[in-house]
Amino acid sequence: MTDNLSPHVKLALSAIEAYVRYGKIIQVPEDLPPELLNNRAGVFVSLKKDGQLRGCIGTIEPVHKCLAEEIIANAISAATRDPRFLPVEESELDDLVCSVDVLSPAEECQLCDLDPKQYGVIVENGMRRGLLLPDLEGIDTVEEQVEIAKRKAFINSNEPVKIYRFKVTRYK
């Protein structure tokens, strides 16, 4: 692990390594910055290998008692439970690039309030919800962003949705 990584990413990579190598879930280290120990928020952990997505799992709202626990749980899930990918293998650990997105609370909005570079989007129809993080490569319009979020939630293009936006703080 590189020294110039944020504490968020170092924690995520440590959690993934311990789980993939040894099947262990790490305890929250005591020497983390206070924000990781005292704050709660939804968190997405994204993994890339050779520039390609390798896993991404997160929580829209916090389910654990602190950011550190949220990061640990979602890092392990991104590496081992993303249904689009096989679980990360030990031989891949050195090739993973990780980012951690900490979400602000979502606010209901209209299409005109969105900006795919600045805001992530959540679309909702009944019990179906789809989320797309902001500032993703290749997603340049609000329409693309909303359409992809709808597909993730199995919502047809012509079905009405409630729309929410949120900001992220992205750690690398």
Whether the per-residue pLDDT at 167 is higher than 60: the answer is yes
**Is the pLDDT higher at 134 or at 4?**
134
pLDDT at residue number 146: 97
> What pLDDT score does 133 carry?
96
- Ordered alpha helix ranges (H), 66-159: 67-80, 142-152
With a cut of 80, say whether residue 162 has pLDDT above it. yes
Residue 144: its pLDDT value, please?
96
Residue 2's pLDDT band, with cuts at 50, 70 and 90, is low
Note the pLDDT of residue 97.
97
128, 153 Cβ separation under 8 angstroms: yes
98-146 pLDDT tens trace? 999 999 999 999 999 999 999 999 999 999 999 999 999 999 999 999 9
Helix (H, G, I), strand (E, B), or coil: what is residue 172? coil
Q: What pLDDT shows up at residue 14?
A: 98
For the chain, domain boundaries: 7-103, 107-171
Distance in angstroms (rounded) separating the CA atoms of residues 82 and 87:
8
Domain 107-171 superfamily per CATH: Hypothetical protein ph0010; domain 2 (3.30.1490.150)
Q: Which two tokens stand for residue 46?
A: 């994204």
Q: Which two tokens stand for residue 40?
A: 């709660």
DSSP assigned state of 5: S
d(Cα 121, Cα 74) in Å, to the nearest integer? 19
What number is the average pLDDT over the span 155-166?
Answer: 97
Q: pLDDT tens digit string along 14-64?
A: 999 999 999 999 999 999 999 999 999 999 999 999 999 999 999 999 999
For residue 127, count other CB atoms closer than 10 A to its CB.
6
Burial class (CB in 10 A: 0-12, 13-18, 19+), 109: middle
Domain 7-103 fold: Glycoprotein, Type 4 Pilin (3.30.700)
Across the range 82-91, mean pLDDT stands at: 97
- Tokens 């995520």, located at residue: 12
CB 95 within 8 Å of CB 130: no
